[in-house]
Structure 1
Amino acid sequence: MRLAVFGATGPTGLEVVQQALAQGHDVTALVRDPDKMAALVPNKDLKIEKMDFSSADTVEPHLQDKDVVLSCLGIRSWPWSTVTLYTDSMKVIVAAMRKNNVKRLVCMTSWFTTDDPSNPPFFLMRWIIKPLFLGRVLANMAQMEKYLQECGDINFTVVRPPHLTMGPVTDMQFCTEEGPQVLNTDGMRGMCRADVARFMLSTMSSEEWLRKCVAVIAVPKK
């Protein structure tokens, strides 16, 4: 498949690019700094295009003839800072997709973007991490998810991983749940970015999670 990857120089985006290339996909990394991308992934099969994210018109040419758009865009912010990256970037991406009649989108947010009284966050997340550190990031992720749910012409899959760690890709099995978190984690506390990338790529040709937000974690095989 012909893939366009946003956020390709980030640690999860890099995994998406490298694994997609290894699987034989035609991959285009859309980045602000092509030299940085080329240094990170010195693969002659990778297409690298310098991107201006100012409007759909500037992004639209980069999505011509693409089958799937993947976004691993993320931000680090201070607890008190305003966060609009997720909604702002997704509105530009969707508009550019529409101009090219691209329907399939896979993007990444996080556990706990939504509140479910039947599936509440653990104590530390609910009373410390979310209100004091990640509240505005998670809120903007939730706004982006809501925006996609209102886009009836986009076949999106929103992948919600837990705390992200570094490490090589594994063959662990995925536990999933259409909700804010996965309850049965088999004692796992986080998920390596390489496995998040593996799951994202696995959803591209599947209809299981079309137009859904899916919480995921990798657990040891039984």
Structure 2
Amino acid sequence: MKLAVFGATGPTGVEVVKQALALGHDVTALVRNPDKMKDLVPDKDFKIEKIDFSSPESIEPHLQDKDVVLSCLGSKSAPWSAVTFYTDSMKVIVSAMRKNSIKRLVCVSSWYLTDDPSDPPPFLLRWVFKPLFTGRIFKNLAEMEQYLHGCDDIDFTAVKAPHLLTGPVTEMEFRTEEGEQVHDREGMRGMCRADVARFMLSTMSSEEWVKKCVAVIAVPKK
């Protein structure tokens, strides 16, 4: 398949590009700094194109003839500043997809975006990290998910990952759940980015999680 990957210079995006190439896909990395991409995935046969998110018109030409769009975009914002990056960038991507008649989208989201008292996040995340550090990012990610639910013409899958770890891709099995977390996770608390990429790529041709937000984690095979 012909894939367009946003956020390809980030740790998860690099894994998506590497694994997609290994699977034989035609990959185009859409990045703001092409030189950085060349250093991260050297000597590979794939296209690198420079983009900006100033308007859908600036993105549209880069999505021509693509089958699937994958977004690994991330934002680093000061804890006291408003965050609109995820909704702003997703609206541009979706608009450009529509202009190119592309329906399939796989993007990265996160566990614990909402504070449901009946299914709360861990104590430290709920009362320390979200109020002081990640709350505004999580709020905008939740708004991004809500926006995608309203896009009836886009076959999206929002992959909700737990705490992200560094490490090589594994052969662990995936546990999934439609909701804010995976409860049956055998004590696992995080997931390596390489396995998040592996799961994202596995969903591209599947109907199971179309138009859904899916929490996922990798656990050892029994």
TM-score range, shorter chain: over 0.9
The equivalences for 1:147-186 within 5 A come to: 147-186=147-186
Q: Would you say the 8 A contact 1:165–1:192 is kept in 2?
A: yes
| CA distance in structure 1 between the partners assigned to 2:106 and 2:52 by the alignment | 21
SS in 1 for 2:110: coil
Counting aligned pairs with the same residue, the percent is 74
Hey, what does 1:81 align to over in structure 2? 81
Distance in 1, Cα, partners of 2:44 & 2:172: 30
1:18-37 maps to which residues of 2 (within 5 A)? Answer: 18-37=18-37
TM-superposed deviation, 1:15: 0.2
Contact (CA 8 Å) 2:86, 2:140: kept in 1 or not? yes
Query: Contact conserved, 1:15 with 1:194, CA < 8 A, in 2?
Result: yes
The alpha carbon displacement at 1:81 in A equals 1.3
Contact 1:115–1:180 (CA<8 Å) still a contact in 2? no
Any conservation in 2 of the 1:110–1:162 contact (CA below 8 Å)? yes
The answer on whether the counterparts of 2:115 and 2:126 sit within 8 Å (CA) in structure 1 is: no
RMSD across aligned positions (CA) = 0.9
More deviation, 148-157/72-81: 72-81
1:132 and 2:132 correspond: yes
For 2:203, the equivalent position in structure 1 comes to: 203
- CA distance in 2 between partners of 1:221 and 1:10 (Å): 28
Tell me the residue number matched to 2:48: 48
Aligned to 1:107: 107
Bigger shift: residues 176-185 or 137-146:
176-185
The runs of 5 or more residues in structure 1 that have no matched partner are: none
In the TM superposition, residue 43 of structure 1 has moved relative to its aligned partner by 3.3
Please name the residue that 1:10 is paired with. 10
Give the Cα separation in 1 of the matches to 2:85 and 2:27.
24
Measured in 2, the distance between the counterparts of 1:24 and 1:184 equals 33
Q: Distance in 1 between matches of 2:106 and 2:117?
A: 27
For 1:215, the equivalent position in structure 2 comes to: 215
Number of equivalent positions: 222
Give the letter for the 1:93 counterpart: I
TM-score (norm 1): 0.98
Verify: 1:118 aligned to 2:92, yes or no: no
Q: For 1:98-150, what per-residue CA distance to the aligned partner results, in whole angstroms no more than 9, with x for missing partners?
A: 00000000000110112334322121111111112110000000000000000
Comparing 128-137 with 157-166, greater Cα deviation is found at 128-137
Secondary structure of the corresponding residue to residue 76 of structure 1: coil
SS in 2 for 1:109: strand
Partner of 1:69: 69
In structure 2, list runs of 5 or more residues that go unmatched: none
Q: Tell me how far 1:77 sits from its aligned partner.
A: 1.7
Following superposition, the deviation at residue 156 of structure 1 comes to 0.1
Q: Given that residues 69 and 104 in structure 1 are in contact (C-alpha distance below 8 angstroms), is that contact kept between their aligned partners in structure 2?
A: yes
- Any conservation in 1 of the 2:9–2:40 contact (CA below 8 Å)? yes
Aligned counterparts of 2:123 and 2:184: Cα–Cα separation in 1: 17
Q: Which residue of 1 aligns with 2:142?
A: 142
Aligned AA (1:220): P
Distance in 1 separating the partners of 2:200 and 2:104: 12
**C-alpha distance in 1 between matches for 2:40 and 2:46:** 11
Hey, what's the Cα distance between the residues in 2 that align with 1:180 and 1:161? 10
1:52 to partner: Cα distance: 2.1
